[in-house]
Structure 1
Amino acid sequence: MFGIHDIWIILAYVLCILSAILCVVYGIVNWNKGADLEPNELAEESDWSKNESEIEDKL
């Protein structure tokens, strides 16, 4: 088959193709997941900044 007579070579090719497919599927599933946390992080940073300025005013 394709000039490849060893099962280990065939297995290596199959595993490489399967891992590439798995990487593509993982990328599609996790696309833009980091953007979900951004509004929360911005709100926390804004609150932290307000608290910091209040503390500096007290000092």
Structure 2
Amino acid sequence: MVLGISDPWISAAYIGCILVTLLCVVYGVINWNKGGDDENGQISEEIAWYDKEKDMEEKELGLWDEEG
């Protein structure tokens, strides 16, 4: 009986949750700053997408809301 839990399946579930949490933390620490190399490319792609969407809406609807 571990911590007053007599059923081994319940104990296994608690231990599994703790192990999965530790695994996620370790994975996050290892991959903390990966993928930031292409951030400028992603930003320019989003700006181009925004401009294209704006042009399409101006062409189709004849208006554009600058706040949105």
TM range (shorter): 0.5 to 0.7
Q: Give the corresponding residue for 1:16.
A: 17
Distance 1:9 1:37 in 2: 44
Q: Which runs of 5+ in 2 are unaligned?
A: 49-68
Distance 1:37 1:29 in 2: 18
Q: Which runs of 5+ in 1 are unaligned?
A: 50-59
Identity of aligned residues (%): 53
Q: Say what the alpha-carbon RMSD is for the aligned residues.
A: 1.9
Distance 2:39 2:6 in 1: 53
Runs (4+) off by over 6 Å: none
How far the C-alpha of 1:32 sits from its partner, in A, is 1.2
Distance 1:25 1:37 in 2: 24
Paired residues, what number?
A: 43
TM-score, normalization by structure 1: 0.60
Distance 1:38 1:2 in 2: 48
- Structure number with the higher helix fraction is 1
How far the C-alpha of 1:38 sits from its partner, in A, is 2.7
